Amino acid sequence: MYNIAKPDKYHANWYRAKSIANRLAAKLARSQLRAEKAAMQWDLATLEMSAGCAGLAAVAFAASAAALVLDASFDGGLLARRPYSAHRDSVIIYDPNAPTFALAADALDSSSVPFTSHSEDTPFGSYLQQTLDYAQFDGLFRALNTSDGPLHSRGEAHITVVSPPEFDRVLKPAGVTIGEIEGIAARVGIQDARLTPVCLGRFAGALPKPATDGDKGRFLLYSLVVADNHGDLARIRKEIFKLYRGKGGEGALFQPEGFWPHVTIGFDRRDLFIEDGIYKGANLCYARIRTDE
């Protein structure tokens, strides 16, 4: 596509530098043209390196890619950032009539928030979460409650890393304890997990297979879809999987990568889960999120 005939480390570094410069210029000038040019130059750099360059230059290139790549789209005069993560290649379809919602840039930073343990010996009473500061999300909830209310909020914010059904139905029967799970989370540093907002997700419809008559009819749910950019939360799930398999657990019953991190913002009737047929990944995207410094 770009007529790259042979690898060239010099050209790769040149294209990379030009891409970074144009990316910054695109953000400052709010220029879609510069954003597209930056993306093309990054593609050129990638092709130059992937064509066969090796050694330290390739290592440096790979290490800097996650931190430097920015996919930019232009919407209503605002540049909307897409995180460099698994969601980067996702198909994201926004509602053309949805407004852009604001969120503090450090809303997902939970490094100063105490960990909350959930280890009750009751059905669905044990699970693992990354605890967030609810005050950071209250403004988003109030904005939605005004436009689509009345909505209910949990009054707290978190990202579920191991769900109650996963623990009760899979991990616990294999002999994995919630204490062991929390020990892994503490060692990896669950409260220091680095996350990026992807979009505001919405479900507005009927469940595909209502379990009871009470679950029939329309539901409304909003969640902030997030990206586990550095794999911090994924690492916790992988370590739990190793423990689970070491205790003889059946691998087919627990998929460490089967994980869609999100923050539930509000709902009209109740929260909805995978067990209801609702997936909260980039497929849920409804509106763009603008992060304010």
Got the DSSP string for 13-30? Answer: HHHHHHHHHHHHHHHHHT
pLDDT tens per residue across span 212-249: 999 999 999 999 999 998 999 999 999 999 999 999 99
Residue 21's pLDDT is: 77
Half-sphere exposure in the Cβ direction for 221 (13 Å, CA): 24
Confidence of residue 292 (pLDDT cuts 50, 70, 90): confident
CA 273 from chain centre, in angstroms, equals: 16
Helix (H) or strand (E) holding 56: helix 56-68
Nearest to 178 by CA among 196, 163, 190: 163
Residue 149's pLDDT is: 63
pLDDT tens per residue across span 100-114: 999 999 999 999 999
